[in-house]
Structure 1
Amino acid sequence: MLNDVIPTPDTLPVHWVWFQILLTFTFVLHLLLMNLVLGGSLLAIGDLVRGKSIDKESQHIPTLIALTINLGVPPLLFVQVLFGNFFYSSSVMMSVYWIMIIPILILAYYGAYIFSRRMDTNSTFGKAMLILSTLLILYIGFMFVNNSTFSIQPDKWSAYNDNPGGTLLNLRDPSFWPRYLHFITAAVAIAGLGKAIWIRFFKKADPEEKEQGIKKNLRIFGFTTMIQFIFGIWFWLALPKDVTMAFMGQNIIATILMMLVLVSAVLIIIFAMRGKLIPSLIQGLFQVILMAVVREIARYTYLDGIFKPSQLENVHQSTPLIAFLLVFILGLFLLFYMYKLAVEPKIKKS
């Protein structure tokens, strides 16, 4: 029955594992930057609400948005290569909201840019633009979570027959809200870690001031990880029973990874609350990678019995992949170089 609503997938030029590896790798890069953008914006708004001055590190938000967009394209393309027949279908069902992401993203960037330019003047308009930009980014995340959950539940696609106008959302999914809240708290946590790293290695200040700033942001990292831990357990238990059980013994690899996620979260809290920057950094990166892999396993479990990328036809054309890898590596170097040129003058001034 489901086969009647799932489009025929395209062929692949090389083995599907290449695309899965690239999807996970590029998603981790995008996730780190996205967390710095959203989490950094939320932390800046938190300072505004408490009547405190916004840290100068927030002036880099527009640059981070540009980098996030650039590094968001590869994982989006790879998920369409492997799961395009699912992703395109869910995108069509929520097309009105989905197509709005492009103009909303442009507005979010300009809002962040105006805020960055007016930071030194303590402008009310600049602060309003920061709040607007953050709300728009939250909208984008909200729609991505909708699309991600909808794309792996083709049994819900029949709702399109009653609502073909492109305004379907997956809000009734029990895992939707914990997934979205988990996403937001993770962003704040990584932003706290990112600010601590920035203060340690790039900010010019006396040692005591730097130490205080590092400990303050590591506490944010640790505390929001505690909250994220709660939302994560809620998210885990809200998944369909077969998916939950895959991480509770039915799939040994998934179970081991879930145990590593839980242990890693505890270690993050311990290291962060003790002000240990390097162990917190290592554990934080490890946690992000683990969560990206767990996310992929959950996707495969949702689609078990319906579709596997291994079913895709391989036409054995490796040249496009080689060309992509060369351009991608060069692109990463260029992005790093441009970012260095953009932030070095600001570092010298700070």
Structure 2
Amino acid sequence: MSAAGAVGGLPWTVARVHRTALIVWGSFVVAVVALLVWAMGVTAGPARAEAFHCLHSDSCEVTATLEYSAILRYTATVLSHCFYAVAAWAGAALIARELESGTAWLAWTQSVSPVRWLVAKLAVPALLITLSGTVLVAAYRWSWSNRPARVIGDWPVSAVFVARGPAMVAYALCALAMGAVAGLALRRSLPALSVSFAVMLLLSQCLDRYRADLWPTITRTGAAAYDQSGPVWSLESGVLVHGKRIPDPGYGNCEGTAAEAKRCLTENGVTGRYSVYHPASHFWPLQLVETGIVLAVTAAATAAAFRLLRRRTA
């Protein structure tokens, strides 16, 4: 076989060797899209009818609404965590297993350089992850945007936040790169699986913890402290005591008539109220900043993988 033929056949070889993983991933994508389409066709209509009925009636049921809410919530949870499976597969099966069994070394002696081998190993799944991830995000956004007003689980919820934007695709690509680094560094399937999974868990939890800090918040004081139109991500609220923030809306426990409550607040030094939050318009800035961070980590991990490969094969 010529060098050109070997290199040209690498993508097909990668797809053929990992066809089981491709079938499982393809089945997952089809199942999720089918579930969302079914939910829109069967559950969303009755849920909207319930919401309309509740606006014009003193009593109402929300059975369909709760069912649609549960579908959106569970689907978002699965989508926002599917990259863990990508990390485990990339670390264990895509890279480490071939190094452990020696098949990678055999390929490198047959007209395929280590760099071209790794390019094919990463490019094929990266393309499939990007395309299928885009489909999943689009399907979820379509289903989420058609939810009834009473459906629980808005954009600040971590799983919904990730599932509704490109961050989901970025996390999956990052998991692929992390798996490659772990596989090349450890060259054993189980340790590489564990390390890549743990690193992605740490990264996702860290960004989830500091997500609210990725974009400047809005602070309101006085009468406008709780005048927030639309769904917001409330981070902190409380009272101002001599200009100092105290995150306790019940400070002083002032009750009674308006005059009594006002006198009580004055005696406790309360000069106003405040709230800190992200409005719904901050979804895209937060989403894009997080996506950029994850893609930067992905680029660094990819560069580290190629550098490590050169050292291993020098």
TM-score (norm 2): 0.29
Rg larger in 1 or in 2?
2
Instruction: Indicate the structure with greater helix content.
Output: 1
Instruction: Indicate the structure with greater strand content.
Output: 2
